[in-house]
Amino acid sequence: SKSESKQSPPPVVHYHMNKLTTSSDPVGNRETVLILTPLARFYQEYWDNLLKLTYPHELISLGFIVPKGREGNAATAALQAQVSKTQSGPEKKRFASVTILRQDTESPLENQSESERHKLENQKVRRAAMSKARNSLLFTTMGPTTSWVLWLDSDIIETPPTLIQDLASHDKPIIVPNCFQRYYDEETKKMDVRPYDFNSWIDSQAAQQLASQMGNDDILLEGYHDMPTYRSLMAYMVDKGSDNPHAEVQLDGVGGTALLVKAEVHRDGAMFPPFAFYHLIETEGFAKMASRLGWKSWGLPNYFVYHYNE
Amino acid sequence: SKSESKQSPPPVVHYHMNKLTTSSDPVGNRETVLILTPLARFYQEYWDNLLKLTYPHELISLGFIVPKGREGNAATAALQAQVSKTQSGPEKKRFASVTILRQDTESPLENQSESERHKLENQKVRRAAMSKARNSLLFTTMGPTTSWVLWLDSDIIETPPTLIQDLASHDKPIIVPNCFQRYYDEETKKMDVRPYDFNSWIDSQAAQQLASQMGNDDILLEGYHDMPTYRSLMAYMVDKGSDNPHAEVQLDGVGGTALLVKAEVHRDGAMFPPFAFYHLIETEGFAKMASRLGWKSWGLPNYFVYHYNE
Ligand SMILES: Nc1nc2c(ncn2[C@@H]2O[C@H](COP(=O)(O)OP(=O)(O)O)[C@@H](O)[C@H]2O)c(=O)[nH]1
Ligand SMILES: Nc1nc2c(ncn2[C@@H]2O[C@H](COP(=O)(O)OP(=O)(O)O)[C@@H](O)[C@H]2O)c(=O)[nH]1
Ligand SMILES: [Mn+2]
Ligand SMILES: [Mn+2]
């Protein structure tokens, strides 16, 4: 770190990339993890869940990017309060560093209700903006000692505490758990779970066919009836008879609500295309770009994280 | 930087991207510049030229990436010696920080002579490797306070000392000077200059036509007789009757021997595609990607920098 003395020369830092490992035993090898969260709204449950992660916090750096505007201001204030509390609390809970970026643009959709966000015509604009936010955060916070990047949305409110170790143990370039949502079933009068994220999938001929008829800038989107892709969605691959959360499946598209990436994948140049890339955008486009760079994506259909329910 | 005291909480850093300017008066606005150099060979003339840049050195950070292997070791040693000398020399000459990354891969071509490098069949492999090196360097060194990125090859041995101010004064997202080479003309028995970099161009219908007949992974390359692109090359746009080094021309492809980029262009996601992107790769693919993100490229045909002559 930079010396304060006026006499001493500014720092020269020398990094050997071959000494930077990304292994199935990241704790044993003291590998650093950068947790990146685009954050339009702050949820206390997200922070509480983050604090419960058992990966050594001194190996974790946090990066947030928050949009401009009233909602962004409120989110920043709430985040800042929790960060201050944690970073001045018990040593074991403190993170190595925290970076908060404020965008110079507002969130493209004023009304960020779940139904509004998911409208087809809003998706391209929204996901292009999300891509730029993710890229800004990534390009700005990744350092020479980062081994892993964990993308974690601000509305992921429940994960196993061993999330990082569990995902890393698979030793995959890109790995994504299954993102579900808890809800109250009015019929059974019981809490139940349902799929939330449909961006993790195996490609289909039908989708390829749809894509081949599209204009250059058009994008395929998952989960819309007007656009039947017949892709195999990880959301529907849950094996209810299995007690093995570590079953793996290779994917062509990934969602970003929770997503572990070896830093070298990003370093090679894999980012979140804010434009149509093979008719894909954002996290799905990222998986495609990574595959063009020789990195495969994997999913864990029986390993769950949970999205907030508005 | 991280506090050494065990008691004090780890740092929380808060950045407002809207306060980070990239203006035509970067010195007046104290804008930071990150100079990035992929470096396979060290040239003393490169370093001497760098030291002569009049942009305030305390606003400049340097980043290098050096390939693995014997040649890389030699280059690193030579670089390290000069860095140490400069950073312990006169305060005014010292740079804000220096990062040296060692790749975990070797340079793809053992024999890096100029003629070997420029063979058509070697270009795709070479430029894919160069792209990955550039991306690694960029993703790893760009920070939240970086306003500008100056790409500068290690064999650029002569530029105006006001290079950064001159290029920035145009206030363009991406701007490239004309890269020439000094040589001894055997006929006239005098030193003369000739074009070196042919990657800065305006696109042509012929090139578009060639591209449309290519396979998905094929790339167009400039300066090869088998592939007549009829693009308008900036190398041939020099106006010998003009004394205006600031004449501007809009470009579709750019070279990277010297290239000034607003950091926000990279932050949005513009990187150096190591794969065919619209049949373009590396710096030319970068210009295309930036244009898809809404950022235009410009060239200065009458403003020169000079490449080493082997
Ligand atoms: N920085 C930033 N974050 C955003 C923006 N819009 C949404 N987010 C965050 O990005 C993540 C995904 O957005 P969200 O609205 O939850 O998407 P959905 O659940 O897929 O519909 C969440 O962490 C949001 O808080 C934005 O414009 N800028
Ligand atoms: N890190 C890294 N730098 C390289 C590699 N190959 C070339 N370079 C550097 O990248 C720049 C461009 O390469 P060069 O061989 O000069 O290309 P040319 O002048 O366009 O033929 C120069 O600064 C080289 O020192 C490589 O494999 N790794
Ligand atoms: Mn969400
Ligand atoms: Mn060169």
Series of mean pLDDT values for 10-residue runs along chain B (310 residues): 45 84 94 97 98 98 96 96 96 96 80 70 90 97 96 98 98 98 97 97 96 92 87 95 93 98 98 97 98 98 97
DSSP letters, A119-164, are -HHHHHHHHHHHHHHHHHHHHHH--TTEEEEEEE-TTEEE--TTHH
User: What percentage of chain A has pLDDT greater than the value 90?
Assistant: 82
CB atoms within 10 A of CB B250: 10
For ligand 2, mutation pick of B154, B159, B283, B309 (most atoms within 8 Å of CB): B154
Contact A50, A77 (CB under 8 A): no
A25/B241: higher pLDDT: A25
Give the per-residue pLDDT at B114.
73
Closest CA to A272 of A65, A59, A20: A65
A102 chain-B contacts, CB cut-off 8 A: 14-18
Residue B144: CB atoms within 10 A of its CB come to 21
The two tokens of residue B232 are 């308008």
Residue of higher predicted confidence among A227 and B45: B45
Instruction: Give the tokens for residue B158.
Output: 């002569």
Neighbouring C-alpha atoms within 13 Å toward the C-beta of A260: 28
| Domain B20-307: CATH superfamily, name plus number | Spore Coat Polysaccharide Biosynthesis Protein SpsA; Chain A (3.90.550.10)
User: Does ligand 1 lie within 6 Å of residue A301's CB atom?
Assistant: no
- Substitution target in B3, B4, B14, B20 with the highest count of A β-carbons within 10 Å is B14
pLDDT, tens only, A145-182: 999 999 999 999 999 999 999 999 999 999 999 999 99
- Rounded Cα distance, B144 and B263, in Å: 9
User: A120-141 and A282-292 are packed helices; what angle lies between their axes, rounded to 10 degrees?
Assistant: 60
B254 lines ligand 2 (CB under 6 A): no
pLDDT in tens, B113-124: 777 777 777 889
What average pLDDT does the segment A250-263 reach? Answer: 98
Chains A & B: contacts with CB separation below 8 Å: 156
Concatenating the DSSP letter of every residue in A211-246 gives HHTS-TT----SS-TTS----EEGGG---TT---TT
Tokens (6 digits) for B247: 């004449």
| pLDDT attached to residue B85 | 96
The pLDDT score that the predictor gives to residue B113 is 74
Point out the residue among A12, A96, A267 whose CB comes nearest to the CB of B139. A267
Q: Is the dihedral of CA A39, A43, A46, A47 positive or negative?
A: positive
Our CA-based measurement puts residue A202 at a distance from the nearest CA of chain B, in whole angstroms, of: 21
Determine whether the shortest distance from the Cβ of A255 to ligand 1 is under 6 A: no
Across the interface, which of A18, A68, A139 has its CB nearest the CB of B142? A139
pLDDT in tens, B201-223: 999 999 999 999 999 899 999 87
Is the pLDDT at A118 greater than 50, yes or no?
yes
Distance (Å) from the alpha carbon of A166 to chain B's nearest alpha carbon: 26
CB contact under 8 Å between A13 and B100, yes or no, is: yes
Question: Is residue B299 helix, strand or coil?
Answer: strand
- Give the span between the Cα atoms of A102 and B15, in whole angstroms: 6
Contact A295, A232 (CB under 8 A): no
Angle, helices A70-87/A44-52, rounded to nearest 10 degrees: 30
Q: End-to-end CA distance of chain B: give it in Å, rounded.
A: 42
CB-neighbour burial class of residue A71 (10 A; exposed 0-12, middle 13-18, buried 19+) = middle
Q: Is the CB of A123 under 6 A from ligand 1?
A: no
Query: Using 50, 70 and 90 to split pLDDT, how confident is the model at A111?
Result: low
Contacts of B268 in chain A (CB under 8 A): 132, 135-136, 274
Kindly give the distance from the C-alpha atom of residue A276 to the centroid of ligand 2, in angstroms, as a whole number.
31
pLDDT of B243: 80
Lowest mean pLDDT among A24-28, A223-227, B240-244: A223-227
CA A254 to ligand 3 center in whole angstroms: 14
ipTM value, please give it: 0.93
List A37's β-bridge partners, or say none: A64
Q: What is the pLDDT of residue B2?
A: 35
Q: Is the CB of B282 under 6 A from ligand 2?
A: no
**Do the Cβ atoms of B127 and B281 come closer than 8 Å?**
yes
Q: 3.40.50.11140, 2.60.40.420, 3.30.70.360, 3.90.550.10: which CATH number matches A17-307?
A: 3.90.550.10
pLDDT of res. A112: 61
Residue closest by Cα to atom 16 of ligand 1: A155
Q: How far apart are CA B224 and CA B212, in angstroms?
A: 18
Residue (of B253, B249, B250, B251) closest to B282 by Cα position = B253
Atom number, ligand 1, closest to the C-alpha of residue A129: 27
For A195-216, write each residue's pLDDT tens digit: 999 999 999 999 999 999 999 8
Cα separation, A208 vs B123, in Å, equals 31
- CA–centroid distance, B112 to ligand 2, in Å, is 9
Mean pLDDT of A75-93: 96
* B277's tokens: 């992107």
Distance CA B79, CA A56 (A): 36
- Dihedral class, residue A287 (left if φ above 0, else alpha if ψ from -120 to 50, else beta): alpha
* pLDDT tier for residue A1 given thresholds of 50, 70 and 90: very low
With a 6 A CB cut-off, is B284 part of the ligand 2 pocket? no
Ligand 2 neighbourhood includes B256 CB (under 6 angstroms) = no
With an 8 Å Cβ cutoff, are B103 and A17 in contact?
yes
Q: Which atom of ligand 2 is nearest to the CA of B117?
A: 21
CA distance A305 to chain B (A): 27
Q: Which residues contact B1 (CB under 8 A, 6 or more apart)?
A: A1, A2, B11
Q: Which residues of B197-229 are buried (b: 16+ CB within 10 A; e: fewer)?
A: bbbbbbbeeebeebbeeeeeeebbbbeeeeeeb
